[in-house]
Amino acid sequence: MLNSIILSYITFAYFFSFFFYLLMMVMHKEAFGRLATSITLAGFFGHTFAIVLRWIESYQLGIGRAPLSNLYESLIFFAWTMILLYIIVEWKTKNKSVGAFIAPIAFLTMAYASFSPAISSRIQPLIPALKSNWLIAHVITCFFGYAAFALAFALSMMFLLKKLDSPERKNLFLRIIPDSWLLDELSYQMVVIGFLFLTLGILTGSVWAYSAWGAYWQWDPKETWSLITWLVYAALLHSRMVRGWKGNKLATLSIIGFCCVIFTYLGVNYLPGLHSYAKS
Amino acid sequence: MARNGTVSKRTPPFLWSTFSSIKLTIFLLILVAVTSILGTLIPQQESAMKVVQSLSPSLVGFLDSLHLFDMYHSWWFRLIIGALALNLIVCSLDRFSSTLKRFRFTPSATREKPFENLPSEQRFLLQASFDSVTNHVGTLLKSKYKNVKRVDKEKTAFYFVQKGRLSHFGVYLVHFSVLLILLGGFAGSLFGFEAFVNILEGEGVDTVTLRKTRALKPLPFSVRCDKFSVEFYPNGTPKEYRSDLVFFKDGRIAFQSPLRVNHPITFEGITFYQSSYGTLPGNRVRLSLKREDTGDNAFVEAEINQPFPLPGREGEGLITEIKSDFMRMGPAVRLEIQPVAGEKIQMWVFKNHSMIEERFPGIFEKFPKLNPASFKPYTFFLNGTEARYYTGLQVSRDPGVPLVWTGFVTIIVGLFITFFLSHRMIWIQVSRLEKGVNVALAGTSSKNSVGLSREIGRLIAQIRGTMDDIPSSC
């Protein structure tokens, strides 16, 4: 289908934006940064177009459903939300260095979706359990949450890298990373957004499970892992809001949290459970 | 400690201080997270049954003694959740009084402290009369804030406004919601039930099987499945499962409706969900009888336990059992022949006769019980068994759900208040100087200082912008 062909090209667009963001940081040239931003924006528009096209194509196939219901579509949407949030962050902070850390994550996500032999990009009709409006609310909220956590993860990595910087060390790459306090604040804001969306995602999933299976919580591995992720970020927020933790400790918790996100999203597929349709 | 924590007036301080500690909260959050991982690695409940057989008995015994095959319902996991809930309550109570103080406290309008180290753009001079400036500032503030406090002292008018005081309570709303959800879950496990039932098409039931104990639970009504249907997409994946259900109360039809996946039906507080389906052999079978001597074929439709005459009046046939899968060789029926004279003959007649012959050559000759030619001169063939659909329903009642749903709504509202609203206090001083009127603005915010400076910026623009239009007439 045309949409998946376009999406496989978008993969390369994100690779090039990663490449030029990196070049900007190593060479310290603004022009590369502007080029990287243009490529990212172009990629994002193409990405959006391809998702809409996939939706239209599903109607042309007589299936007619939102492109949010299997592993391929969720990866594509995950990358889309990451890039969207990143564009907002770049626009708000006027700093392009975050791009060098988030673009590779978006690129890998797209590459996994487009080129993994285990993932089918075909538009399949929905099985009865997935025919619910809660599906759309659940997937959108979850992936906005995951994307915000991905940004928090990138910012936390940058925070830890920035620690290596010092005035006598004339490293351009490290110098261009924003100040620690800004990274700390931004990463915290991303965790806040992620936490709100993850909560919404768990709740919508729970309401949906109640209408589909008759129980809002069944301790299925994916449910449990989403709760584990929620608890880790809840611990992070408490340690910051009440104990005033900042810096290294918080960055480490945010990285652990993102590992939980990845396990909730992909690792759980290797465990048995109700979310089996999200595997292929 | 938590279990015998009868709260008396003399609660030892250490108990209170232990449970009001945020360190304990973080520890418990991590503990729930880590123990939950165990449950996703070790198969739980029904799926545990299959795995148990492949483990050594001593390991199974060890895991079972720790309730690890149903850990989310074990006493120790519930104890951790209980401790977390207690921690949540104590922490919230412990901090509530100081929050209430912050909520009630209105600082003096003449405070000078906020004006220390004031950025220069927050202090400016206006060429206008003192009264026109105070009038304007007064109306502007009144249009934007609920209570505008004004104090006049010597040559200065002091204003104080605030908003978002309620945002201090957002975090309590979140904690209350978590407790509400836990309470809803607890109420559900106490007063609710989870069960399942399979109903054959055309039949009715008035009991269901409880998932936990496998005990039968009578329903206060009966339910019949008139028809089960399954629709497929062209590629063979299922599109829709549907059971046409009829509910009977006191022998009369009380309600009827189709049940589909994602569209449960609630009748008298008990909810039915479409969860699975299957087929069972029905009561009718089709046999063909071949006479070896003449080669004639005859067809018979027989019902279980209803004797039928053989075509040549050699005796009577009787189907005594119908199996959808007998000895892993597919559908089969047990046929009993009562000849006019002589002993009864029994045999199993398979549907996949030729296939079985191929796989196990000579099997039918070797075992007379399996040989469809045991009664001369006939050879019996099973052409088909009538299949009947049954629908598998999840049946449950959960009185905790309204509590849980309420908790879901309030937790979102609470998180929104906690993260995005802040308590902002703004002080404004308008002073009469010889050169003109001096205006200074200062503010504090419980969080989101960026939002506060934006708000002050807007106020400054509005005060300066309009004042410039007023002719300086004094």
Check which CATH number belongs to the domain holding B154 and give it.
Answer: 3.30.310.80
3-class secondary-structure state, position A214 = coil
Q: Does B396 touch chain A (CB under 8 A)?
A: yes
Boundary (domain end) residue, out of B69, B85, B103:
B103
3-class secondary-structure state, position B446 = coil
Q: Which amino acid would we find at residue A213?
A: W
ipTM of the complex: 0.91
Cis peptide bond prior to B258, omega within 30° of 0: no
CB of A36 within 8 A of CB of A97? no
- In the predicted model, is pLDDT for residue B423 greater than 80? yes
CATH number for position B225: 2.60.98
Q: Does B22 touch chain A (CB under 8 A)?
A: yes
Q: What is the pLDDT of residues B376-416, one digit of tens each?
A: 888 898 888 877 888 999 999 999 999 999 999 999 999 99
User: Looking at residue B467, what is its pLDDT?
Assistant: 60
Residue B19, C-beta contacts closer than 8 angstroms, at least 6 positions apart:
B86, B87, B90, B91
How far apart are the CA of B378 and the nearest CA of chain A, in angstroms?
48
How far apart are the CA of A110 and the nearest CA of chain B, in angstroms?
27
The answer to whether position B181 is within a domain reads no
Q: How many CB pairs lie under 8 A apart between chains A and B? A: 111
User: Looking at residue B5, what is its pLDDT?
Assistant: 42
Which residues make beta-bridge pairs with B394? B196, B273
User: Looking at residue B426, what is its pLDDT?
Assistant: 94
Residues B366 and B460 in one domain: no
The answer to whether position B172 is within a domain reads no
Residues B91 and B142 in one domain: no
Residues B267 and B396 in one domain: yes
- In the predicted model, is pLDDT for residue B8 greater than 60? no
Pick from A35-44, A54-63, A198-207: least confident? A54-63
Quickly list H helices, chain A. Answer: 2-27, 30-60, 71-93, 99-115, 133-162, 172-176, 180-213, 221-241, 248-265
Residues A132 and B262: their CA atoms lie apart, in Å, by 7
Q: Does B401 touch chain A (CB under 8 A)?
A: yes
Question: What count of residues does chain B have?
Answer: 474
Long-range contacts of B73-82 (CB under 8 A, 24+ apart): B77/B35, B79/B2, B79/B3, B80/B28, B80/B31, B80/B32, B80/B35, B81/B32, B81/B182, B82/B2
Residues B381 and B398 in one domain: no
Residues B65 and B26 in one domain: yes
pLDDT (average), residues A220-230: 92
- Domain holding B137, by residue range, is 106-164+422-467
Give the DSSP H/E element, type plus range, for residue B66: none
Q: How many helices (H) and strands (E) are present in chain B, helices listed first?
A: 11, 18
Q: What is the pLDDT of residues B106-125, one digit of tens each?
A: 888 888 888 888 888 899 98
Q: Does B238 touch chain A (CB under 8 A)?
A: yes
In the predicted model, what is the mean pLDDT of chain A? 90
The answer to whether position B200 is within a domain reads yes
Tally of domains within chain B: 4
Q: What is the pLDDT of residues B122-146, one digit of tens each?
A: 999 888 889 889 999 999 999 999 8
The answer to whether position B178 is within a domain reads no
Residues B270 and B282: their CA atoms lie apart, in Å, by 30
Q: Does A199 touch chain B (CB under 8 A)?
A: yes
Residues B327 and B349 in one domain: yes
Closest by CA to B100, choosing from B169, B179, B177, B160, is: B169
Q: What is the pLDDT of residues B206-216, one digit of tens each?
A: 999 998 888 99
**What is the per-residue burial (b if ≥16 Cβ within 10 Å, else e) of A221-230?**
bbbbbbbbbb
pLDDT (average), residues A22-41: 92
The answer to whether position B427 is within a domain reads yes
Q: Which amino acid would we find at residue B1?
A: M
CB A224 to CB B36 under 8 A?
yes
Predicted TM-score of the model (pTM): 0.83
